[in-house]
Structures are given as structure tokens and as C-alpha cells.
Amino acid sequence: MCTAATYQTKDFYMGRTLDYEFSYGEKIAIMPRNYPLQFRHDGKKITHYALIGMAHVIDDYPLYYDAVNEKGLGMAGLNFVGNACYNDVQENVRNVAQYEFIPWILSQCASLNEAKKLIKEMNLVKTPYNEQLPAASLHWIIADKSGCITVESVKEGLKVYENPVGILTNNPAFDKQMFNLNNYMFLSPKQPVNMFSKELDLKTYSRGMGALGLPGDLSSMSRFVRVAFTKMNAKSKSSEKESVNQFFHILGSVEQQRGCCEVAEEKYEITIYTSCWNSQKGIYYYTTYDRRQITAVNMHKINLDGQQLISYPMLNDEEFYEQN
């Protein structure tokens, strides 16, 4: 399905994989500060923070999958089928349609703290974008360099969780995912020592045996554990190149290869794209299943005071570098 992660070196990075069996058509979309934002139930924003992110653009409107704003607050929506449950529109609250949750937050909040406050006023409602695009079942990860939260709208109401691991996948709900990490506390990047029996001469016959027990499949609970272990133990230098590169390696640990997750007869879920943004610099990096080279779109290369949505096609064609 999908995996999101955060990563801190000198700068704060965040991104996600989008795993699915087909693409709706994605574009890297920059929404400048004066793009007129008409919310469905919550009025209009003429001026706001600029955003960059991956979106399905329809009628010049970006349905963002993930984005970051010019203040460094990032957000991603991930599948949460069977658990997501949205409200009906109510009076005297700020009703927000699920499809506009990302721009509603990122256009108005300069920090995670501001986002937390705004969410308290929010009633997340099931209004679809249009009849052809029913509400997606999602949950969200929101983060800046100060921290990370998970937002889940479930039957019992809206849950806002602190997310100390900076990871989100899909089902089950975030509290179950975090609890499940307890079962893996013995995993380590270091070699194990023999605690089975002092009387047996057991050997570490291979490097990397300290994480024996780490799940390797593509289910969302296993991806949560694996990417959490990878991210929490990841080491890199802090330059832009090294940080971004390491981030793609982290999400690479849960990449979905074509053929390994069959969702219908000869339909395979794959990692359609992987994104990584530098929250401070406003640069959105991505790779796709067919294009390994990292492509960058920099929001500050356009005039952020504009009114028009600027979008770039998601490049998807591998170009081999010919060394001879």
C-alpha cells in the first residue's frame, strides 16, 4: 500500500512510497501563495502558504497525496481501508472534506503545533470531490522538524497520536502498529550474543544476525516494523546529497517489487513512486518504479506569489547513463 517516513540530519526530510496496482496520473504540483483556495465547507483562502507535493490534478485543483509547505510542515495521506470513517457535515464547526485535509492544514499552519491546534477545531467530513471520485479511506502523517503526529478518523472519533517513530504505513490503526514494535525490541544492528545456553557453542555464522526476526514481507504491519528498524538505525552524513540518498535507501527497505504482491489475477501492487522532501529548502525529490534516478523539483525556482497552479509530469522513463 504505502509507507511514509521522516528523517533528520542537518535538515528535516520527509516522504513516502505510493504502492498500488495502477496510477491515477500523478503530477508534482506547486500551489503558490495566491492560488485561490476554495474550501468546500470552510470558506475561501486568497492568500496562504505555498505548497509543493504529489497530486492528482483535476480541474486545475490538486488532490494532494503528500506535500510540504514553504514553512517546512509536511503531510501525507496513506490508505486506511476498513478503518477510516468520516463524519457528516455539522453546524458550528469547521467542516473539512477529507480530500482537502492536506491543503487545509498546509495552507494555514506554519508548524506542527499550529496544525495540532487547528485539527482540534476540525470536523473531517466525507464529502467527495465529485461523484466520480468517492472519498478515499486514508489516515495522515504530519511532521516538521519539531515532531510528528498521526491523524486517524475512525468509528470512535478523530484520533491524534504523537508519532515518536516518524513512520506510517496502513492497517491496522496506529496504536496497534506502535504496540507491535514492542515485540521486536530485541532486534539490533549489532551481532547477537548467545543467551540461549552458555553450554552450547553457538556461532554468528553471518554478519547481520542481530535483526533475525525482522519481518520481510509486504504487509503493512511488517513494513511498519522493517522501515522503523531501518530508519531508527540509519546512519548518514548530513549533506543534501547524502541525506536524500539515505532517505531513499530507508524507504527502499519496504519497496514493493512487481510480482510479490498479487492483488487480483495478474495485477500486482508496486511502489509507483517514492518521494522525499527537504522541509527547509522546499525541494521535492522523487523516484518511480521505472526511473531510479532521483528527480528534483524546487518550489523556490518559481514565483511563489503567483495565482496559478504549476505542475510537472511525473517522469517515469529510466535513462541509463552510458559510461562508454
Q: Which helix (H) or strand (E) holds 76?
A: strand 74-79
Within 127-186, which residues bind a copy of itself (CB under 8 A)? 164-165, 170-172, 176, 179, 181-186
Q: Which of 128, 147, 215, 306 binds a copy of itself (CB under 8 A)?
A: 215
Binding string, residues 21-60; x marks residues near a copy of itself by CB under 8 A? -------x--------------------------------
C-alpha cell at 144: 516538521
C-alpha separations of 82 from 75, 79, 137, 155, 304 in Å: 21, 9, 7, 10, 38
Q: Which of 47, 90, 219, 307 binds a copy of itself (CB under 8 A)?
A: 219
Nearer to a copy of itself, 66 or 269 (CB): 269
Nearer to a copy of itself, 109 or 143 (CB): 143
Q: Which of 76, 244, 272, 304 binds a copy of itself (CB under 8 A)?
A: 244
Find out whether the peptide bond into 134 is cis, omega within 30 degrees of 0. no
Nearer to a copy of itself, 46 or 260 (CB): 260
Q: Which of 190, 192, 155, 184 is nearest to 167 (CA)?
A: 184
Q: Does 308 bind a copy of itself (CB under 8 A)?
A: no
State whether residue 68 is helix, strand or coil: strand
Q: Does 10 bind a copy of itself (CB under 8 A)?
A: no
Within 67-106, which residues bind a copy of itself (CB under 8 A)? 82
Total residues at the site for a copy of itself (CB under 8 A)? 105
Q: Does 214 bind a copy of itself (CB under 8 A)?
A: yes
C-alpha cell at 248: 531513499
Nearer to a copy of itself, 131 or 321 (CB): 321
Active site residues: 2
Q: Which of 60, 121, 290, 305 binds a copy of itself (CB under 8 A)?
A: 290
Judged by CB under 8 A, the stretch of 36-44, 101-109, 118-126, 235-243 that binds a copy of itself is: 235-243
Full DSSP string of 171-206: SS-HHHHHHHHGGGTT--SSPP---S-TTS-----S
Q: Which of 138, 157, 161, 171 is nearest to 66 (CA)?
A: 138
Nearer to a copy of itself, 110 or 211 (CB): 211
Minimum Å gap between C-beta 311 and a copy of itself is 11
User: Per DSSP, what are the bridge partners of residue 264?
Assistant: 267
Sort strands 12-20 and 122-125 into parallel, antiparallel or unpaired: unpaired
Q: Which helix (H) or strand (E) holds 296?
A: strand 291-298
Q: Which of 301, 305, 307, 308 binds a copy of itself (CB under 8 A)?
A: 301
Nearer to a copy of itself, 90 or 204 (CB): 204
Nearer to a copy of itself, 153 or 243 (CB): 243
Identify the DSSP state of 88.
Answer: P
Within 189-208, which residues bind a copy of itself (CB under 8 A)? 189-190, 192-197, 199-208
Q: Which of 298, 303, 306, 309 binds a copy of itself (CB under 8 A)?
A: 298
Within 250-279, which residues bind a copy of itself (CB under 8 A)? 250, 252-253, 255-263, 266, 268-269
Task: Give the integer Cα–Cα distance in Å for 13 and 25.
Answer: 24
Minimum Å gap between C-beta 104 and a copy of itself is 26
CB 227 within 8 A of CB 169: yes
C-alpha cell at 270: 508496486
Minimum Å gap between C-beta 225 and a copy of itself is 8
Identify the DSSP state of 89.
Answer: P
Phi, psi of 164 (to 5 degrees): -70, -20
CB 250 within 8 A of CB 264: no
